[in-house]
Amino acid sequence: MKEQIRKNFSSDNVVPACPAVMAALMEANADAAPAYGADAWTARLQDAASDLFERRVRIFPVATGTAANALALAATTPAFGAVLCDESAHIMQSECGAPDFYTGGARLVPIPSEDGRMTAEALAYTLDRLPVDDTQQNLPATLSLTQASEWGTVYRPATIADLAARARGRGMAVHMDGARLANAIAHLGCTPAEATWKAGVDVLALGATKNGAMAAEAVVFFDPARAEHFARRRKRGGHDWSKQRFLSAQLLAYLHDDLWLHNARQANAMAQRLAGGLFRHPGARLLYETQANEIFVLLPGPAVTHLRAAGFAFRDWRAPLGLNGTVVRLVTSYYTRIEDVDALLAALAAA
């Protein structure tokens, strides 16, 4: 089956887990191990994550990105607080109110942007409208940044540092939704430390599932003191696995030998190849710069129909007002190969 063209560009979560992750699961399945995170894998994960980030961190594995985001936000946002985020943010658009739920009803405040990356001006404008002493409005408590963004763009660390400084100046914490952090780092060429805490990030939802894991994400606290009550929050959210070794083992494999980076580079490279081909296609219009592994492209309706008829899978996306044609999202992953991209481009050319 693997010899066939892989035609599913729907998302990076439709692909299999990568072999190293599955092998790690099998290896972890030996004999008894203490439950609820007292196992050796989870202990090693603390070290591996601290090595990765060049700083002593606390890392808590969970199975989904929504859980990681919502639990992290609950640790920094009181019920009467507000989370400021880009209007496109996953926490705003795609988690059915998980942050609202986990924080006990805090408010998410969307900040408009051109391409999924909020600007310092837009943040300042919003903060200006939420003064601390206006108790009729929620208290700005957390700034949430999505890296890579929902539109496939990537913040520069300096931009993050600027945004984070503004938030911290207001006493806010800085959260990063890093569901695709690996793709962002692969694009930036910086270190994980530079992409996160050195730029002012306090707590990170670190993704792995979209980049090769079966089901493994993690909440990373760069200041261990902030993690004080996290175990109870995770437990009452139902996210404390009894056989936690099977989460930690995935993440250990993911961090081992930079698997995360290799996988992300492959995904990004395939996105670049795909974007390049689309750019050269006369009927296609790329809506955003392709920096990570997501491409949003305006295509003629018949071309879309033709691609689907040829077996390619991808999602329609709501087109911005005023555009004619169909906007589709194409997502590459570690699992995408050159021949898969080229097959899609060839089919498009034939449309």
Footprint on residues 97-116 left by a second copy (CB under 8 A):
97-98, 100-108
First to last CA, the chain: 26
User: CB 274 → a second copy: shortest distance, Å?
Assistant: 16
Q: Does 30 bind a second copy (CB under 8 A)?
A: yes
Q: Does 80 bind a second copy (CB under 8 A)?
A: yes
Q: Sign of the C-alpha dihedral, residues 12, 17, 19, 21?
A: positive
Stretch that binds a second copy, among 189-197, 226-234, 279-287, 295-303 (CB under 8 A): 226-234
Pick between residue 136 and residue 282 the one whose CB is nearest to a second copy.
Answer: 136
- 3-class secondary structure, 201: coil
Pairing of strands 294-299, 285-286: antiparallel
- Secondary structure letter of residue 295 according to DSSP: E
**Is residue 241 close enough to count as binding a second copy by CB under 8 A?**
yes
Binding of a second copy by 225 (CB under 8 A)? no
Site membership for a second copy, residue 46 (CB under 8 A): no
Q: Which one of the spans 94-102, 145-153, 180-188, 252-260 is the region binding a second copy (CB under 8 A)?
A: 94-102
Residue 67 in contact with a second copy, rule: CB under 8 A? yes
Element (H, E) at 345: helix 338-350
Residue 302 makes contact with a second copy by CB under 8 A: no
Provide the mask over 125-164, with x wherever binding to a second copy is found by CB under 8 A and - wherever it is not.
----x-----xxxxx-------------------------
Residues in the chain: 351
Taking CA 329 as the corner, what is the angle to CA 328 and CA 332, rounded to the nearest 5 degrees? 145
Kindly tell me which of 8 and 272 has the beta carbon lying closer to a second copy: 8
Nearer to a second copy, 89 or 199 (CB): 89
Residue 63 sits in the site that holds a second copy (CB under 8 A): yes
334 is written with which tokens?
A: 């570690």
Binder among 56, 229, 256, 280 for a second copy (CB under 8 A): 229
Q: Which range touches a second copy (CB under 8 A), out of 8-16, 47-55, 196-204, 277-285?
A: 8-16
Closest to a second copy by CB, 138 or 200: 138
Candidates 52-60, 92-100, 115-123, 186-194: pick the segment binding a second copy (CB under 8 A).
92-100
14, 158, 165, 323: residue in contact with a second copy (rule CB under 8 A): 14
Instruction: Report the distance separating Cα 257 and Cα 175, nearest Å.
Output: 26
Q: Give exposure, 89-122, as e/b (b: 16+ Cβ within 10 Å).
A: bbbbeebeebbbebbeebbbbbbebebbbbeeeb
Q: Is position 315 an interface residue for a second copy (rule: CB under 8 A)?
A: no
Q: How many residues bind a second copy (CB under 8 A)?
A: 77
Comparing CB distances to a second copy, the nearer of 104 and 302 is 104
DSSP states along 202-268: -EEEEE-GGGT-SS-EEEEESSGGGGTTHHHHHHHTT---TTTHHHHHHHHHHHGGGHHHHHHHHHH
Give whichever of 60 and 197 is closer to a second copy, judged by the CB atom. 60
**Which CB, 137 or 272, lies closer to a second copy?**
137
- The reply to whether 256 sits near a second copy by the rule CB under 8 A is no
The residue range among 142-150, 238-246, 252-260, 342-350 that interacts with a second copy, by the rule CB under 8 A, is 238-246
Q: Report helix angle 157-169 to 120-128, nearest 10.
A: 10
The angle subtended at Cα 196 by Cα 71 and Cα 66, nearest 5°, is: 25
Q: Binding of a second copy at residue 26 (CB under 8 A)?
A: yes
Tell me the Cα Rg of the chain. 20
Q: Which residues of 50-78 are buried (b: 16+ CB within 10 A; e: fewer)?
A: eebbebebbbbbbbbbbbbbbbbbbbbbe
Confirm if 108 and 82 have CB atoms less than 8 A apart. Answer: yes
